[in-house]
Structure 1
């Protein structure tokens, strides 16, 4: 049975070899239909309807293909789960081995050249694939393990860092001093707003801190800003960089999923050994402290949920404005509801409530609140308390008890698709353009 001429839909049989041919053929037909249309940003209403129909047919076919073959696809891409591919490596391998399943390199390059409102929304196709992988207890756990391994960049920088104890990157300065890895967020111009560079630098720094045997404790704090409104003041984080989102520079794989499965999960759970096996613990973990000056907005507040100890200045505040921006605040919907309870979680996530450090409800996020001038001393005292082998073992077991890997995996599977749909929602595109225009 074949699809009608000019129709994108694939007719699947349940047999992998035949179905991959059918899917590739359907994708080729669909791409011809899309190529006959104007560029996404200037399509007529009729052309937009046609494009939506093509994408709907192909996405349905992809979901049906994955419903039948996810684990066999994943096994082929990872040589029977003997290769540990990171998110970007996995989707790239899938684009080559299974044409039409996810966007190929040329399609992604075209997307990256466009602003968010002018894209074909091909990241939704990546989300359909990654949702299916993460839903699988077998493939999903293997992908999570792959993302807990040290990055190639960190492995390359490790020998030099172990000698110098210093590393200056665009978004993070890393310094080892007295057994403490001090990560200073240093995007002075944008109040430590998060983008792909920040995620890469943070994962590199977290990897190095966990790999270096001379480091016993890690700390994250915002550095002094050059922004006119906060010049000279420390700021923890302003959340996602809305200018970058509007410009199309906040990718699903390289930012939205990598930050959750990469450095944030490593802060919580530790670093997986590149050589698994043996009887020792498979994760290398260390205690982490966060020090919040001025504010932790959006992704900044999300970060606090994985730290062992949080100190905040009395004039600081916290918020999760993602719903106001139109997107999902990462894993905060999962973790914040657990620590704060459903009522406060809904007030903060759905209604945009801002919590000040001195409010009683801030205790769900913060362990200590001190006057701004006392922050340095409070940080050093807390770092001393966290420096102990028993602390390491107990925080590892707390992580196991508080959040199972399978609960995290299940959440991330749904987050992948929901967030991909959200970043292409008409309301989001309108909101981020307006918000980005107000940011100076």
Structure 2
């Protein structure tokens, strides 16, 4: 049985990646890392796929690294050369990625969602980086990314205590975009993806890029990246289509070109 399910829907422009190891709390092993990387490769290569959702088979989103593999000394097998841990956390991407979190997303599970652009979580979701409780460190990006997403003092508390926190608290801190009812995270993430796919895909990708690269840069760099993004998008067919559709008072028909 596959440990990761990949379901691209070209008509809706959405792909869903599901970690499917419920018997192991969706822990990341070598096969999970490799299959996630392959799925992201396919999304990035296909012009008709505009948004990706990453989720896990309930009742857990992802419990992080498979500690049995860690105990055997196989830590490197959980990382890929291109994507890092889970084939994802160091991966360079151009298209939005939404985490749909039902149940715990702890340790590497929290680091996976920190590599995503948006997070929809059900009321059963919990978050945290408890590595210190096992004499480990959160080496998948959690120790520097968490403080970029939530207040630094709170991120430090999470890192040093190893405590876990509910979805409502994560939402208060800005880590989660939306909290849904139990079992509805994927549904909520799909609705959010559909709100994105009504927009011009190249403009979305460029906007994502400028947000990521410009938010922590100085203003001169932010202006430069914004101008370049404007130049690139103005040369696309969708730029003309957007203006034409507005003038004709009809929905635009995006091609991604």
* TM-score normalised per structure 1: 0.45
Instruction: Give distance in 2, aligned partners of 1:367 and 1:331.
Output: 20
Shift of 1:376: 4.4
Shift of 1:202: 1.1
1:244 aligns with 2:69: yes
Name the structure 2 match of 1:369.
Answer: 179
Contact preservation (8 Å) 1:222, 1:236: yes
Q: Secondary structure at the match of 1:396?
A: helix
Contact preservation (8 Å) 1:309, 1:366: yes
Select 1:176's aligned residue among 2, 5, 8. Answer: 8
Q: Secondary structure at the match of 1:175?
A: strand
Name the structure 2 match of 1:212.
Answer: 46
Select 1:320's aligned residue among 129, 154, 157. Answer: 129
Contact preservation (8 Å) 1:260, 1:331: no
Instruction: Give distance in 1, aligned partners of 2:136 and 2:79.
Output: 11
Contact preservation (8 Å) 1:291, 1:311: yes
Contact preservation (8 Å) 1:340, 1:364: yes
Gaps of 5+ in 2: 218-257
Contact preservation (8 Å) 1:355, 1:361: no
Select 2:113's aligned residue among 284, 304, 307. Answer: 304
Shift of 1:257: 6.9
How far does the alpha carbon of each residue in 1:392-440 deviate from its partner, in whole angstroms, 9 at most, with x for none?
Answer: 2111111212468xxxxxxxxxxxxxxxxxxxxxxxxxxxxxxxxxxxx
Instruction: Give distance in 1, aligned partners of 2:5 and 2:137.
Output: 28
How far does the alpha carbon of each residue in 1:310-364 deviate from its partner, in whole angstroms, 9 at most, with x for none?
Answer: 1000121111111112222121111111222321111111111211002266533
Contact preservation (8 Å) 1:288, 1:308: yes
Contact preservation (8 Å) 1:238, 1:298: yes
Please report the RMSD computed on the Cα atoms of aligned residues, expressed in angstroms: 2.1
* TM-score normalised per structure 2: 0.74
Q: Secondary structure at the match of 1:398?
A: helix
Q: Quickly say closer, same or farther: Cα 1:216–1:235, change in 2 above 3 A.
A: same
Contact preservation (8 Å) 1:355, 1:362: no
Contact preservation (8 Å) 1:296, 1:319: yes
Gaps of 5+ in 1: 1-168, 224-232, 271-284, 405-440
1:255 aligns with 2:78: yes
Q: Quickly say closer, same or farther: Cα 1:306–1:362, change in 2 above 3 A.
A: farther
Structure having the higher strand fraction is 2
How far does the alpha carbon of each residue in 1:153-176 deviate from its partner, in whole angstroms, 9 at most, with x for none?
Answer: xxxxxxxxxxxxxxxx73211111
Q: Quickly say closer, same or farther: Cα 1:222–1:318, change in 2 above 3 A.
A: same
How far does the alpha carbon of each residue in 1:221-277 deviate from its partner, in whole angstroms, 9 at most, with x for none?
Answer: 112xxxxxxxxx3421011111111122222xx4357443852233xx42xxxxxxx
Shift of 1:306: 2.3
Matches within 5 A, 1:391-410: 391-402=204-215
What is the aligned length? 209
